[in-house]
């Protein structure tokens, strides 16, 4: 099974590609799609879409697993992230890829054993699963959480369908 995990955002979208093979789960790639606030919203969304299409073409995922958008107070952020989510859904539909969405608490519970786990606990759980390569990279430390969250979404889906 090949799963593309997504942590949607307009400024920073995290993605993580996980493959299940005879050796278990392997994190093939995890990274970010970043856009500048200086660029118009429609161009930011176009950039995200173009990059998603490249990622999908490169990895040929069977499933796109996305963290559900949840906001309690900031409407502007919710709207922006929802627009980015729409781009993710469109890119999956264009490639005929199944899409599943998971609530943040579900992801945390399945990956770290605690539905209220913080980002450090999730990253520690991911290192336990995939090894030491799951760490921040120079110049990307501030948004590493988004890439790690995307990996966690992919792992959540794999655990949910019971492939490992």
List of residues 6+ apart from 82 with CB closer than 8 A: 69
List the catalytic residue out of 7, 19, 145, 149. Answer: 7
**CA distance to 57, 61, 151, 161, per residue, from 144 (Å):** 23, 22, 11, 26
What residues does 13 pair with on adjacent strands?
33
149 is a catalytic site residue:
no
At residue 98, the pLDDT reads 98
- For residue 7, say whether it is annotated as part of any ligand binding site: yes
DSSP structure class, residue 143: G
List of residues 6+ apart from 37 with CB closer than 8 A: 11
List the catalytic residue out of 19, 31, 67, 145. Answer: 67
The dihedral through the CA atoms of 67, 3, 52, 30 has a sign that is: positive
List of residues 6+ apart from 78 with CB closer than 8 A: 69, 71
- For residue 31, say whether it is annotated as part of any ligand binding site: no
Listed by start position, the domains of the chain span 2-161
CATH class of 2-161: alpha beta
Structure tokens at 116: 């209220």
Per residue in 102-159, pLDDT (tens digit) is: 999 999 999 999 999 999 999 999 999 998 777 766 655 556 789 999 999 999 999 9
At residue 137, the pLDDT reads 61
7 is a catalytic site residue:
yes
CA 113 from centre of chain: 19
Per residue in 16-31, pLDDT (tens digit) is: 999 999 889 999 999 9
At residue 83, the pLDDT reads 94
At residue 70, the pLDDT reads 75
Q: Vertex 28, ends 22 and 32: CA angle to 5°?
A: 155
């Amino acid at each position: 099974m090949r799963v593309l995990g997504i942590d949607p955002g307009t400024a920073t979208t995290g993605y993580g590609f996980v493959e299940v093979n005879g050796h278990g789960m392997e994190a093939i790639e995890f990274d970010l799609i970043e856009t500048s606030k200086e660029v118009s919203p429609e161009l930011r969304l176009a950039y995200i879409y173009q990059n998603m299409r490249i990622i999908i073409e490169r990895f040929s995922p069977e499933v796109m697993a996305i963290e559900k958008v949840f906001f309690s107070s900031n409407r502007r952020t919710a709207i922006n992230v929802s627009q980015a989510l729409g781009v993710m859904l469109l890119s999956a539909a264009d490639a005929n890829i199944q899409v599943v969405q998971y609530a943040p608490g579900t992801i945390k519970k399945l990956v770290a054993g605690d539905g209220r786990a913080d980002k450090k606990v999730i990253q520690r759980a991911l290192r336990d699963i995939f090894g030491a390569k799951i760490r921040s990279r120079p110049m990307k430390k501030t948004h590493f959480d988004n890439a790690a969250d995307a990996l966690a979404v992919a792992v959540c889906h794999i655990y949910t369908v019971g492939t490992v």
